[in-house]
A and B are shown apart, each in its own frame.
Chain A
Amino acid sequence: MTDRMGFFTDTSLCIGCKACEVACKTWNEVPEDGIELSGMSYDNTVGLGASTWRHVAFIEQPAPSARVQIPAVTPARAAAPAQAPAQAAAPAQAAADSMRWLMSSDVCKHCTEAACLDVCPTGALMRTEFGTVVVQDDICNGCGYCVAACPFGVIERRETDGGAYKCTLCYDRLGDGLTPACAKACPTESIQFGPLDELRERARGRVTELQQAGETKARLYLDDPEDGIGGGGAFFLLLDEPEVYGLPPDPVVTTRDLPRMWKHVALAAIGLAGAVLAATRRSRP
């Protein structure tokens, strides 16, 4: 077992270029899935699905009263990527002083306690040596259980061939020691790939830095191994509440309640057997 690998998506650095979406589609040969205009700001991708494994959300919202300059990533990194968001904001500053744009590249969370993997009846979903969760397409029979079980609405059945699909965290690239396509393509290092422990440590420093700079609503999402999914293999730094980005505020893997469910199923089955026996008691003389 190698280190557990994952994504840290620092949304404070996202410029909404969608290079991650394009790189993901290209590398993984994910089919086209609609080119309609959604009317949702610059987001015409709309959401993750069978044929969308990275999705950039765009939120236009009133800016916090005191305008915060997003600080540079880390001193060690060149200033270039860190300059990007500030530059992007600058020209529109005068006109749009009262609004801000939140952008965030969403992806499969590769949960520590993954509901999709737990409920999969064929073993098509599996945990890799990198701690990621992938679908083995040659085994999946398209039962759709994972679709209903995912608390993030990530995995989906592709209607053209009936199989379930989602982000693989570029399992094929990882095997060759390469960075996943989306992280490789990200020009601002908003998407960071690496050993999960390192990413978590870096993220903690980053969120403190942002909060000290006045970005009071900055928070980490799915970074905590004690949360409802045991922490995400992909986690995020958000600048507002999760639901604003289309993320569930407090997801809990359904399997945690399964022992209780089996208990009630057993009691109900015993009750049914008892009712049948009582009802069929001989009553005729």
Chain B
Amino acid sequence: MSPRSQEQQMVPDAGFRSYYGRPVLKEPAWKSPDVPAYLFFGGLAGASSALAVGAHRSGYSELARVARITAGGAISVSAAALINDLGRPARFLNMLRVFKVTSPMSMGSWLLAAYGPLAGASAVSAVTGKLPRAGRAAAAAAGAMGPAVATYTAALVCSTAVPAWHDAHREMPYKFAGSAAAAAAGIGLLALPPDRAVPAARLAIAGAVAEQTAERLLERRLGAVAEPYRSGKPGELMLAARVLSLTGVAATAAARGRNRVLSAVAGATLVAGSAVSRAGIYEAGRASARDPKYTIAPQHTRAAARAWPPRAGDTPADDDGW
């Protein structure tokens, strides 16, 4: 131990000072699996709607149909998970009392209010074959909103005081976009023979690679604050997600658009990888709020660097064990 002020005795074996090791922040009240499910199914829905439009344009009508049905189903589950997570679910509609750009949840609620019914109508039309033109119009409108539906949740989790979420705000939208694309493509690969889901195979690889790249950049830039993404329960989830995701990429490539079994395995692992990574991000955020060091140490370093020379007796910036 370096010679520090005697006050260090209060928090033994910690490289920073705190109040009895208590967290500074409240752990998010958001529950699991509600919130990971809200993120995963929202991403799946948004990317599926976009995929449906693209697939329809290029003549992959079965893939378009699968994507439309997926989007309608997934957004229903996502909305249900969100409502179930509220402390007072009966007041869900209070979300539409105000329109606030400072609140990603407000913006998201308005987006879902517009997108949800369109994605639902598009799915119902795809399943029943009724009102095909109206269904296609709804699918096109939902497809235009899909990318925003898949990515706004990144701003939602990052616009918090939770260190592992907030500090990741630069990379998280790209990670969410990639994760959503991989999941939507994965459903296509699961549902259809590979020769009828060629665009899904391409999107699967692009999405998974984008997600993993964003994750690497995030971990490198955040340094010590990224620790929760690598250790403990969230670390295990993130590792599992990475293995699933990369297995999906490998299987997609190996299937070469011909092997039905390999292609389906690829689809399943990609979907699972996306879902598990949402759980990992959720748990990493909670862990970073629970441990005061992720709140105190970076802030202390920042404050001490600003207040140079340090006040007599203060812990210097380079002595906070960071």
Contact = CB atoms under 8 A, between A and B. Distances in A.
Tell me if chain B binds chain A. Answer: yes
A281 B60 CA distance: 10
A277 B24 contact: no
B208 to A, nearest CB: 11
Interface stretch (B128-136, B225-233, B294-302): B294-302
B9 interface: yes
Interface in A104-162: 115, 118-124, 139-145, 147-158, 161-162
Nearest to A259: B101
Interface stretch (B160-168, B236-244, B258-266): B160-168
B142 to A, nearest CB: 13
Interface residues of B, number: 94
Contacts of A249: 296, 299-300, 302-303
B22 A246 contact: yes
A262 B155 contact: yes
B169 A269 contact: no
A279 B7 CA distance: 60
B95 interface: yes
Given A62-B6, A124-B94, A161-B87, A261 B203 contact: no
Given A219-B311, A243-B19, A265 B203 contact: no
Contact of A273 (B18, B50, B155, B292): B50
Interface in A31-52: 38, 40, 46-47, 49
B19 A264 contact: no
B104 interface: yes
B154 interface: yes
A254 B299 contact: no
B132 to A, nearest CB: 20
Interface string B160-185: 11100110011011101100110001
Interface string A221-252: 00000000000000000001101111111110
**Most chain-A CB neighbours within 10 Å: which of B29, B170, B180, B313?**
B29
Contact of A280 (B10, B58, B174): B58
B87 A243 contact: no
Nearest to B110: A121
Nearest to B49: A276
Contacts of A275: 177, 181, 203, 206-207, 210
- Looking at chain B's contact residues, the main secondary structure is helix
A283 B148 CA distance: 27
B159 A268 contact: no
Contacts of B24: 152-153, 243, 246-248
A250 B299 contact: yes
A261 B102 CA distance: 11
Contact of B57 (A61, A153, A260, A280): A280
Contact of A147 (B28, B174, B306): B28
A153 B25 contact: yes
Contacts of A284: 59, 198
Interface in A191-223: 216-217, 219
A88 interface: no
A90 interface: no
Contacts of B18: 243-244, 246
A144 B82 CA distance: 11
A272 B151 contact: yes
Given A141-B86, A243-B17, A279 B54 contact: yes
B161 A149 contact: yes
A224 to B, nearest CB: 11
B150 to A, nearest CB: 6
Nearest to A117: B102
Given A59-B10, A121-B95, A265-B173, A148 B161 contact: yes
B105 interface: yes
A276 B51 contact: yes
Given A143-B105, A249-B299, A257-B166, A216 B88 contact: no
B161 A151 contact: yes
Interface string B300-319: 10110010000111110000
B299 A279 contact: no
A6 interface: no
A164 interface: yes
A163 interface: yes
Given A148-B30, A283-B198, 20 more contacts: A47-B22, A62-B9, A141-B88, A145-B105, A153-B25, A154-B26, A217-B313, A244-B10, A247-B24, A249-B300, A250-B300, A254-B160, A258-B104, A260-B170, A262-B101, A265-B154, A272-B181, A273-B147, A280-B202, A283-B58
> Closest 6 interchain pairs by CB?
A142-B87, A162-B87, A280-B54, A246-B19, A144-B29, A141-B91
29 contacts: A40-B20, A49-B26, A124-B94, A140-B91, A140-B94, A144-B28, A145-B160, A148-B165, A149-B161, A151-B25, A153-B25, A155-B26, A241-B17, A243-B19, A243-B300, A244-B17, A246-B19, A250-B300, A254-B158, A258-B104, A260-B170, A261-B158, A264-B154, A268-B174, A269-B177, A280-B55, A280-B57, A282-B59, A283-B198
